[in-house]
Each structure stands twice: as C-alpha cells, then as structure tokens.
C-alpha cells in the first residue's frame, strides 16, 4: 500500500476511484496543494488507485481553527477493507508532524451511516453543532455534521 500526493497526471487515476469527480474539482485541489493550503492524497494498492482525500491545512468555514479532511472517498467495491482507515491515520500523522492537536471532517449523519460508524470507531466525535448544507450534488442538498478528534 502506498499513499502519495496527487499530481497533474492523476486525473484518470482519481476518476477510477470516483467516476463522477470532475476535472475542475481536481484542478482546484491541485492548486490548493501547489499553494500549500492542502495535500491531495491518493492511496494505491499494488499500483491500483483505491482511495483519496483532500487534507486542508486551513480548516473549513465551521472550524477554521484546525485542519479538515474533505471528500474522503474509497472505491465502492473495496470499502470495508481498511483503506479509508489507513488514509485517515496518514492524515492524522501528517497533522501531528505539523504541530496540530485536532483534526476534523464532515459526514452526512443519516445517509452515510457506515462512514460515520468508521469515523466514530477511530475516535471522532460530533462537535455538538447542528447539521448544515455542505454542498449540493445534482440538485440534492448534502446535510452534514462536523466530527472532530483530539490528536494528543
């Protein structure tokens, strides 16, 4: 298993993970990485792209005070095999190396129960805030809650 930074040559690899990921989003994430505002990480197993995440050093609107994992995504047919856990642990390691003592992410509390269960198993807790619309996908609002974890 290998975790590495995405490059401008990874569009097809990223689309093998999430087929509906568009070029504009990939370009925006690579620009954030180039500007040192994020790391766009890809997990591969035996050269096959399996999972990715955008690790944002500047957090997000609801929690700018600590970094945030955005759009953690694993190929559907390979979920439940520990790939997302490996990617999360890598993000936590990178955060600690930079001196952060907290990390967060958002999850849909009703429609993404498997992901929420995984995050909670790994020590992430609801921050107590109310659900909010994180994005709109194909006209459907994605309601999420923020989860966070102390890294010390």
Give the per-residue pLDDT at 142. Answer: 84
Residues 6+ apart with CB under 8 A from 12: none
Domain carrying residue 82: 2-150
Asked if the model's pLDDT at residue 137 lies above 80, the reply is no
Q: Strand 102-107 vs strand 140-150: parallel, antiparallel, or unpaired?
A: antiparallel
pLDDT digit string, tens, across residues 30-77: 999 999 999 999 999 999 999 999 999 998 999 999 999 999 999 999
Q: Find the CATH number of the domain harbouring 43.
A: 3.40.630.30
Give the per-residue pLDDT at 146. Answer: 96
**For the chain, how many structural domains are there in total?**
1
């Amino acid at each position: 298993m290998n975790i590495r930074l995405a490059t401008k040559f990874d569009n097809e690899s990223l689309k093998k993970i999430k087929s509906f990921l568009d070029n504009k989003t990939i370009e925006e994430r690579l620009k954030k990485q180039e500007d040192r505002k994020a790391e766009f990480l890809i997990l591969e197993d035996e050269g096959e792209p399996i999972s990715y995440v955008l690790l944002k050093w500047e957090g997000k609107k609801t929690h700018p005070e600590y970094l945030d994992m955005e759009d953690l995504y694993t190929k559907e047919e390979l979920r439940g095999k520990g790939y997302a856990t490996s990617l999360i642990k890598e993000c936590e390691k990178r955060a600690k190396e930079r001196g952060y003592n907290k990390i967060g992410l958002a999850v849909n509390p009703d429609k993404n129960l498997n992901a929420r269960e995984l995050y909670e198993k790994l020590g992430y807790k609801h921050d107590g805030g109310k659900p909010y619309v994180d994005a709109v996908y194909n006209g459907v609002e994605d309601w999420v809650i923020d989860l966070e974890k102390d890294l010390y």
